Amino acid sequence: MKFASKVQLQNSTGRAMTFILEPWGDVYRIPDGKTAHVVGSSTEAGCFHVEMTDDGMCVWAWERSVAEVSIGSEHAASCREMKTAMTDGRSETLLGNRSRLGVVRLLGRVMLAAGDRLLRLA
């Protein structure tokens, strides 16, 4: 049997915001007024878990799921199946003994800041 889940993240903040798709650690930017659609499927029962962060959102997939992301009407990415450890009902990919989430958030901020600077220079 195949299980599916879908989540829509609508950005009405007045500015662009980011969300991280875990356990893959992918960082996406949602322009103001746009909606990100995250669709997942798996042979394991489950659904997405959404967390608010200081600077956006984090969407956690579930065990053995495959996810597709689109922002507005544009396809953004497909994430392949990843086997993960389950911790507190949430998928978690480990980097040593630490969650990748902190590292990904930091890298995402650096990449977005660098992109903003490049856009201003152009």
CB contact at 8 A, 52 and 9: no
Domain boundaries, the chain: 3-121
Task: Quote the tokens at residue 63.
Answer: 């065990």
pTM of the model: 0.64
Segment 42-94, tens digit of pLDDT = 998 999 999 988 878 999 998 889 999 999 888 777 766 655 444 444 444 43
Enclosing H/E stretch for 113: helix 100-121
% residues pLDDT > 70 (the chain):
63
β-strand pairing of 74-79 with 85-87: unpaired
Check pLDDT > 80 for residue 31.
yes
